[in-house]
Structure 1
Amino acid sequence: MKVNIPGKQEIEIKNIVFDYNGTIAIDGKLIDGVKENINELSNKFNFFVITADTFGSVEQELKSVNCKIIKIEKSLQDISKEKFIKELGSNTALCVGNGRNDKLMLKEAILGIAILQDEGICTQTLLNSDILVKSILDVFGFLNDKNRLIATLRN
C-alpha cells in the first residue's frame, strides 16, 4: 500500500509487525476481530507477530491466523524487536505496540502506531510513535482505508 501524505514523503507499507500481549491479545488471549482482519488483509500485507510469549499461548491463539510468529528471548526485548525491524526493512514496516519493549521498534519503523487498550501504554513508547489509537481495530481501519492515515498524518 502506497500512501502519499501531504507535507511528508510517500511511504509504502508491505510488512505489518504486531507486538502480541497488549496489542493483539489481552492476557494471552487474541482480541475478537484480529484473526478475521489479518486473514482478510494477508493478500495485501505480510503480517508478523513478535513476542517473548509471556503467557505461552501465542502459537495456539494464532494457529489459524495467516501471520508469521517471531519468538524472542525474554531479555533485551526492545533491542531484539528493533533488530528484527531493521532486518525486515524499516522503510516498509508499520509496527504496532504498547509496552516499553516496543519503543525502539516503533521509532525504527516507517510508521509506528502506539495502542492504548486494557494493558495501558508506556509513555516512552507513545513518544516514539507516529499515531496513538484506542483499539487494534483502528489499525485495521487504517489498512483498509489509507485516507484515514492521510487525514491523521498530513500537515
Structure 2
Amino acid sequence: MITIQIPQQSELIIKHIVCDFNGTLATAGKVSSKTINLLTSLSLKHDVKVHVLTADTFGTVHQQFAQSAINVHLVSKLNGTIDKADFIKQLGVENCVAIGNGNNDIEMLRLAKIGICLMGEEGCATKTLVASDIVVANINDAISLLDNPLSLKATLRP
C-alpha cells in the first residue's frame, strides 16, 4: 500500500488504483508496453491492486492486459458513470486513487480519496478536471507521482 501523511489531514492509505481505459490508459484502444510495465511495477513495489474500468469501446482491453496482473472490469456503455462510482464504493473510497479524463469518470474521481485527471492525447472533460484533486499531463506522470509519495504529499499539502 501507499502511505502518505499530508499535514493537517489524516494519514492516507492507498490500496487500490482504479483507472479508466480509453483516453486514460489507452489511445484508440491501445496501451503502451511502457505504461503496462510501470503499472505492474507500481503494483508490485507498493502492494497495491490496479483495476481498469471500461465499456471496452474498441474491444481490446482483455488482450492489452492478458499477460499482466492488472484487474479488468467491464462497465455498462449506458451506465458507466454509475458502475464506476459503485466500484469505488465497493473497494472503499478511503483507500482508492481514481484516474480518468472523461465525463463518465467524474463521480469516481469525486468519491476516491485522491482523484487524478489527466489531459492526455485525447484531452479531458472540463467537469472532470474540476472534480479532480490533481491534474497531470499523461498516465505515466500519474504513475510516477503515485510511485513517489513525497511528490504526492508536496502536491496535496495545504
TM-score range, shorter chain: over 0.9
Give 2:16's aligned residue. 15
Q: Which residue in 1 is equivalent to 2:69?
A: 66
Partners of 2:88 and 2:40 in 1: CA distance: 22
**Alpha-carbon distance in 2 for matches of 1:145, 1:33:** 18
Identity of aligned residues (%): 39
Bigger CA drift: 65-74 or 93-102?
65-74
- Structure 1 ranges of 4+ moved more than 2 A: none
**1:29 and 2:30 are equivalent in the alignment:** yes
Q: Secondary structure at the match of 1:26?
A: coil
Matched residue of 1:29: which SS? Answer: coil
Q: Structure 2 CA distance, aligned partners of 1:100 and 1:78? A: 8
What is the count of residue pairs matched by the alignment? 155
Distance of 1:30 and 1:146 partners within structure 2: 25
CA RMSD across the alignment: 1.0
- The one-letter code of the counterpart of 1:81 is K
Name the structure 1 match of 2:124. Answer: 121
Residue 88 of structure 1, CA deviation = 0.9
Q: Does residue 51 of the first structure (1) align with residue 20 of the second (2)?
A: no
Q: Aligned with 2:83: secondary structure?
A: helix
3-state DSSP of counterpart to 1:120 = coil
Tell me the equivalent position of 2:93.
Answer: 90
